[in-house]
A = this chain, B = another copy of it.
Amino acid sequence: MTGIALMGAGRMARVHAASIAEAGAHVATIYDPVDAAARALAATAGARVCASAAEAMGDSAADAIMIATSSDTHVTLLLEAVRTGKPILCEKPLASSFEEARGFVAEVGEEAARRIFLGFNRRFDRGHASLREAVKAGRIGRLEQLIITSRDPYPPPLEYIPRSGGLFRDMMIHDFDMARSIVGRDIVSVTAHGSSVVDPEIGRLGDVDTASVTMLADDGTIITILNSRRSAFGYDQRIEAFGALGMVLSDNPRQSGFRRFTAEDPGTDAPILEFFMERYGPSYTAEIRSFIACASEGREMPVNAVDGLMAIWLAEAATISLKEGRTVRLTRPEDGF
């Protein structure tokens, strides 16, 4: 049984603690600057509370490290964690800015970065994973178009907007990673469009709530990402991959197979899942299982800090594209825009 040093005791840390138990591992040590939170989670999880991250990570009962603190602390904790030589899982995003992410990967080196598991949990969603595997296995021939739709049920509180980094860095970052993982090619251009049609107040705060990004891969594949901060009918998370031999979809799953047929509603489905814990709950568990398996077997991480950097890079490019009203051409993260 693997012991985990868990950094953080907030919402994501609690989600991970539950997944750790389900995966047959256990939380050995916990560190959180808010001591009460750490104590509460430790009591449930049967873990030891530590006075510092270094102590928690260094404990011999901890074979692996999970970082689930706020984004601005990720890089500092990652640098500390890398020094222990233990397997690491870090929540997304890798860093709180593109510069910081780029600096981190430069500092630890690409090889070490590839050994850090980055928590893009949607890669472990059953439908999305089936789609990616179908594409990789050539089921649709050469990929030609990829369309990712991602709509939240309702916008975050307005006070969150200014510190969110903007829709591209905060919300679309999952889709940038998903696009990269499915296309498997270099992205050579990013063009972003956006509006604040859901709530003009979001526009006044300098952000958009509705956005469309078009990216070109180096082989001509066209990628379209559609985001909205609000979806009246539930969490709208779909992917469409279109290729020479056909198409695969990862459509919204339903709460159940319930349907009703009346004169007014001639065939109505059960509701789409409400939000991310309902839709992606199982993907968190699958992610933690994958991390623990890779860690125990010393395998390379399937999604890692380099992926984290690339996603932030694309979010940065989209931000610039929208602001300057132009297509941003890309070479490598090191080269800027």
Contacts and interface: CB of A to CB of B under 8 A. Distances in A.
A246 B260 contact: yes
A319 to B, nearest CB: 16
A337 B196 CA distance: 26
25 contacts: A126-B256, A126-B258, A126-B270, A127-B257, A131-B258, A134-B260, A139-B260, A140-B260, A140-B262, A144-B195, A145-B226, A191-B193, A195-B216, A210-B220, A212-B222, A214-B214, A232-B245, A232-B262, A245-B262, A246-B260, A247-B260, A253-B254, A253-B256, A261-B272, A325-B327
B257 A252 contact: yes
A272 B267 contact: yes
Given A127-B270, A212-B222, A267-B272, A257 B246 contact: no
Interface in A112-133: 125-127, 130-131
Given A232-B246, A270-B266, A271-B266, A226 B260 contact: no
B224 A248 contact: no
Nearest to A200: B220
Interface in A266-283: 266-272
A251 interface: yes
Q: How many copies does the complex hold?
A: 4
Interface of A: 125-127, 130-131, 134, 139-142, 144-145, 147, 151, 191, 193-198, 210-212, 214, 216, 219-222, 224, 226, 228, 230-234, 236, 238, 242, 244-263, 265-272, 325-327
Given A191-B191, A233-B261, A245-B263, 8 more contacts: A141-B232, A144-B198, A193-B214, A195-B216, A212-B222, A238-B257, A245-B262, A253-B254
Given A214-B214, A222-B212, A253-B256, A265 B265 contact: yes
A261 B236 CA distance: 11
A245 B231 CA distance: 8
Contacts of A257: 127, 238, 249-254
A230 to B, nearest CB: 7
